[in-house]
Amino acid sequence: MQFYHARRNLEFSSPSSSPLESPVYGVVSPNEQLDTKVQLRNWLNNGRLSNMPVGFPFRHVMDARGTPRISYDPYEFREELRSESRCSGHLAAHVSFAPSAAGRSKKEYLSWSATLPKLDLRPYTCGPPPKAPVAHVRVDTEVMNTEYGKHIERDPRIILRALSVSLELGLLVTVTLEECGDCSGQYWNVIYIGTANNGRRSLLFNAGVFRER
């Protein structure tokens, strides 16, 4: 299996000038769209999503005995974005979780995604702009059977930062397992793979060797 190593570009390119920059109702200008990406990236890096559920990246719910447990049910929450737009109340990032679903390889994945308002070409309306997907992270369910899966359950920063990398590089980020050549069958390498729209894959990060639970 051949991978290409990706280099992180910490700056977004500046958008070209556009007549959409005029402050009319319902329009998200290119500069404003760029600013929403920077805001969301910074919040993800710093773990500053104020509306994420307790127990993120999953949810904690109470069972019949009042004991908290992890729920793998889907959810979505929104984060208001700072904006000078006259429709700023409608500018929000949305983060959602979907439970395991089989991909083309028949593997099952847990999936997190983020959307931002896209350029809205409908002037003089003040409805919510359409959503544009900007980040997508999926975790092979087999990863959750390792000690690294326990870290994912307990530390929200792992998925938040993976979403930040996905947003920054424009890649689908997949967390999966790779055989550890010098280890016994109870140990696995946990790796992060980035996939571009053209299908090209890159090895982003090797999280290390982890034992099965």
In 60-181, which residue ranges form alpha helices assigned H by DSSP?
147-154, 157-169
Looking at residue 64, what is its pLDDT? 82
Q: Which residues pair with 146 in a beta bridge?
A: 212
**Cα 72 to Cα 74: distance, rounded to the nearest angstrom:** 6
Closest to 144 (Cα-Cα) out of 161, 165, 158 = 158
pLDDT on residue 13: 39
Mean pLDDT by 10-residue block, N- to C-terminus, for the chain (213 residues)?
A: 43 36 50 86 91 94 86 93 62 90 75 86 58 94 95 96 96 92 80 96 95 90
Closest to 212 (Cα-Cα) out of 178, 193, 183, 188: 188
| 39 Cβ contact list (under 8 Å, min separation 6) | 81, 82, 93
